[in-house]
């Protein structure tokens, strides 16, 4: 039995906990105080808690102390945080414990986009990298060399904006990744984003098919599927011998992904990067090949055993990321307590939250992943729609309505979308349709009459005019969800509300998010003009600025710098 420190949180931490239990190892998990009620804290053998003001997952010093204090034998990094940072792998090596992932030399060679170009060339891949920018190269993509998750990307459409965009990205990259190295690539808007999953041992590289990750917003994936394009898969198979040779030469051990852009116009594949870790969307591959990649990572690292037999892809799989964001309000983060999580027990739902829980304000807003499998793509899409409709999360707003709209869109269903489709075409169409989807008075009144007859019920289902609804009650707040499209209404339970008016009573200064005030620019008694910036809030690395709706004097101020505020609470009062 080994002591395994799981240096991550959320659904991937829970997957690692379950893998450790199955393999007979003890799991030690890092949790913040606002996640003490999560399944991660409950299921692990030892939960090590930290204040919400501390991010222990990115602190080498904290991790080093925990390894020594708890006699850790191995460290599982998951994805994000320090999972691809050579310093973490080097720390494990220096302390004589197992890092469940590649060694520091491999990470140094592949985790930087600039350094990984050498790997691409050894595999005979085409690359998009531009050394000397010319007028004919535009549009181009600027990328932080050590960036990840799209946060270090910027598209430049013409030469006039080049220098300014480059300077801004350098500053952002230095702030986010402590490095301002920028690489320049040709931008391909009419392309698909496809990635190859592999698992490398000391003697052999196992190839586990491809995934299509073309559905992205702000370079962030929100839905993945597999397998990828048949033509691309055929191209990739011709490169397997070069990939295997290169990975074995590097001494790569464990799971990894190679990402590509498939240019539809030229029918050519271009190398993007290597992800030297498990990916969020690895669940698609697990469904296609009936394997447990997380367990395979831990088992091979600690026991040098691999349970892959007769690997063969079957059918089609789709993974939907469910985020705590308000998609109708610019996808702003919406952290906070979840009072009701209802789902069909037969669906695959990878999460860290039980029937209720909390989405912390300081981390990525991913609540969980809904994963389906079908005999073909059409069946998988229909299963995803059905399961999404049956998944109800109340307490925080989510992107479920948005995902359902994507899944039912003709462009997606006919497999004609590209990496730029969501933002260049779909988003505008979806936003313009939102107003027509609001729940009307008759629907709301029907639900209230249903709960009024059974006041002790906290949640339930109801039908009206051919539509099905799921509702829940938390305190004095009623949540109603129309299952066909995921549209949600939130309002008071009080009977007097229904007999008076359906008008909303929100003020312009109710907090749109649960988060921290990173800047308060006014004080009580100050005079402000319409349009003045008043407060800057932050949640999940997203800044939300509050501006004066009218001119007047600040009469009430309910927040101070670095203070926390809940969604819906009044921030400021101006008269």
Catalytic residue numbers? 277
Which residues fall within 8 angstroms of residue 321, CB to CB, at 6 or more apart? 221, 222, 223, 280, 366, 369, 399
Element (H, E) at 117: helix 116-122
What gap in Å lies between CA 487 and CA 402, rounded to an integer?
Answer: 9
Render 457-475 in DSSP notation, one character per residue.
-SEEEEEETTEEEEEEEET
What gap in Å lies between CA 487 and CA 491, rounded to an integer?
Answer: 14
What gap in Å lies between CA 74 and CA 99, rounded to an integer?
Answer: 6
Which residues fall within 8 angstroms of residue 431, CB to CB, at 6 or more apart? none
β-strand partners of 274: 258
Torsion of CA 135, 181, 540, 349, to 10 degrees: 90
- Supply the angle between the helices 282-289 and 293-303 in degrees, to the nearest 10: 90
DSSP 403: H
> What is the SS3 assignment for 14?
helix
Structure tokens at 355: 């029937």
């Amino acid at each position: 039995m080994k002591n395994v420190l799981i240096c991550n949180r959320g659904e991937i931490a829970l997957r690692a906990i379950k893998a450790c239990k199955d393999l007979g190892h003890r799991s030690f998990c890092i949790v913040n105080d606002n996640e003490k009620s999560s399944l991660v804290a409950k299921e692990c053998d030892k939960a090590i808690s930290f204040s919400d003001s501390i991010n222990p997952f990115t602190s080498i010093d904290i991790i080093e102390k925990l390894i020594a204090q708890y006699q850790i034998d191995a460290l599982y990094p998951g994805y994000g945080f320090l999972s691809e940072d050579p310093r973490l792998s080097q720390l494990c090596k220096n302390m004589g414990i197992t890092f469940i992932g590649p060694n520091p030399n491999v990470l140094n060679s592949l985790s930087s986009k600039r350094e990984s170009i050498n790997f691409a060339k050894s595999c005979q891949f085409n690359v998009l990298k531009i050394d000397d920018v010319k007028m004919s190269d535009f549009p181009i993509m600027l990328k932080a060399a050590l960036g990840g998750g799209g946060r270090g990307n910027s598209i430049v459409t013409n030469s006039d904006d080049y220098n300014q965009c480059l300077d801004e990205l350098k500053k952002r990259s230095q702030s986010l990744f402590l490095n301002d190295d920028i690489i320049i690539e040709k931008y391909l808007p009419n392309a698909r984003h496809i990635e190859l999953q592999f698992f490398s041992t000391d003697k052999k590289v196992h190839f586990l098919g491809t995934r299509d990750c073309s559905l992205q917003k702000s370079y962030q994936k929100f839905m993945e599927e597999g397998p990828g394009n048949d033509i691309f898969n055929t191209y990739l198979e011709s490169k397997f011998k070069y990939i295997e040779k290169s990975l074995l030469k590097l001494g790569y051990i464990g799971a990894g992904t190679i990402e590509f852009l498939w240019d539809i116009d030229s029918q050519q594949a271009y190398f993007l990067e290597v992800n030297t870790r498990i990916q969020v969307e690895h669940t698609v591959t697990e469904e296609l090949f009936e394997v447990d990649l997380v367990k395979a990572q831990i088992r091979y690292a600690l026991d040098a055993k691999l349970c892959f037999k007769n690997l063969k892809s079957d059918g089609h799989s789709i993974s939907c990321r469910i985020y705590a964001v308000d998609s109708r309000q610019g996808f702003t983060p919406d952290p906070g307590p979840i009072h009701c999580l209802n789902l069909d027990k037969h669906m695959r739902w990878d999460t860290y939250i039980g029937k209720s829980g909390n989405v912390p304000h300081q981390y990525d807003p991913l609540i969980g992943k809904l994963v389906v499998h079908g005999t073909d793509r059409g069946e998988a899409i229909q299963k995803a729609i059905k399961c999404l409709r049956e998944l109800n999360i109340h307490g925080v707003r989510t992107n479920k309505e948005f995902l359902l709209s994507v899944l039912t869109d003709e462009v997606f269903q006919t497999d004609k979308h590209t990496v730029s489709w969501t933002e260049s075409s779909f988003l505008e169409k979806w936003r313009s349709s939102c107003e027509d989807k609001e729940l009307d008075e008759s629907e709301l009144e029907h639900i209230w009459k249903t709960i009024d007859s059974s006041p002790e019920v906290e949640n339930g289902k109801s039908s009206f005019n051919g539509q099905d609804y799921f509702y829940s009650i938390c305190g004095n707040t009623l949540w109603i969800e129309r299952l066909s499209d995921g549209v949600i209404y939130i309002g008071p339970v009080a009977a007097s509300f229904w007999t008076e008016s359906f008008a909303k009573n929100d003020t312009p200064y109710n907090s749109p998010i649960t988060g921290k005030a990173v800047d308060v620019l006014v004080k009580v008694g100050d005079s402000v003009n319409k349009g003045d910036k008043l407060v800057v809030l932050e949640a999940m690395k997203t800044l939300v600025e509050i501006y004066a709706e009218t001119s007047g004097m600040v009469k009430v101020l309910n927040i101070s710098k670095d203070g926390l505020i809940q969604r819906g609470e009044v921030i400021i009062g101006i008269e």
